[in-house]
Chain A
Amino acid sequence: SAVISQKPSRDICQRGTSLTIQCQVDSQVTMMFWYRQQPGQSLTLIATANQGSEATYESGFVIDKFPISRPNLTFSTLTVSNMSPEDSSIYLCSGRTDEQFFGPGTRLTVL
């Protein structure tokens, strides 16, 4: 399957700031997703990143807090805006062809 890389791998940020996470897939995928994994928890889908149009957000997640871009079939960004300590999580990028696969995640700590 394709390989996903994410940048940064981890970051420590101050409350009130924003962080943009980049996701790069080494081949074209039909769909891209962003997940959040809070400490010790399972994966929760934030949104589906749509190429060239607005992302589709899941219940409880909004564009103002988690703006997402997907300019082409292999790249997407997720921004975590106006961060608070509750945003401390692992953020995972995922791609789908025949199967769904994941990037290594970005571990975010908000102080």
Chain B
Amino acid sequence: GQQLNQSPQSMFIQEGEDVSMNCTSSSIFNTWLWYKQDPGEGPVLLIALYKAGELTSNGRLTAQFGITRKDSFLNISASIPSDVGIYFCAGPRMDSSYKLIFGSGTRLLVRP
């Protein structure tokens, strides 16, 4: 079945550093979504990607839709303490495109 594999599982970085995380699948996706979940909250959509090769930014965040359509990465530049949280990639399921499948998440911890 479809699976989304995220790496790294967690990362502990220094404030001000750049961060990179990725999401891969053995299946092709037509849409890649990146969500962030703050502690005690629900996930919030950060970036949506709809086209292979697309590179999209949202403030200090940049995400790319891989050309093979089987991967995506998310970069965060100049990390700050409020970047702490869990980052999930997600994409539409093959059996029902209006339902999402989520990756296992990357937990980001920032050292002040």
Interface residues of A (CB under 8 A from B): 1, 4, 31, 33, 41-43, 45, 48, 92, 94, 96, 99-105, 107
Assuming the contacts A42-B88, A99-B48, asked whether A105 and B42 have C-beta atoms less than 8 A apart, the reply is yes
Q: Would you give the 0/1 interface string for B85-108, flagging 1 where the beta carbon is closer than 8 Å to chain A?
A: 000100000000011101111000
A79–B67 Cα gap in the complex (Å)?
Answer: 43
A107–B44 Cα gap in the complex (Å)?
Answer: 17
Which A residue sits closest to B104, measured CB to CB? A42
A-B contact count (CB 8 A): 38
Q: Interface of chain A, helix or strand or loop or mixed?
A: strand
Q: List, in ascending order, chain A residues with CB within 8 A of B43's CB.
A: 43, 92, 102
Q: List, in ascending order, chain A residues with CB within 8 A of B105's CB.
A: 42
Judge if B112 is at the interface, Cβ distance under 8 Å.
Answer: no
Interface residues of B (CB under 8 A from A): 33, 40-45, 48, 88, 98-100, 102-105
Q: List, in ascending order, chain A residues with CB within 8 A of B102's CB.
A: 42-43
Q: List, in ascending order, chain B residues with CB within 8 A of A107's CB.
A: 40
Which A residue sits closest to B99, measured CB to CB? A45
* Smallest CB separation, B39 vs chain A (Å): 11
* Smallest CB separation, B93 vs chain A (Å): 9
A100–B92 Cα gap in the complex (Å)?
Answer: 11
| Pairs A–B under 8 Å by Cβ, sample size 18 | A33-B99, A42-B88, A42-B104, A42-B105, A43-B43, A43-B102, A45-B100, A48-B99, A92-B43, A99-B45, A99-B48, A100-B45, A101-B45, A102-B42, A102-B44, A104-B40, A104-B42, A105-B41
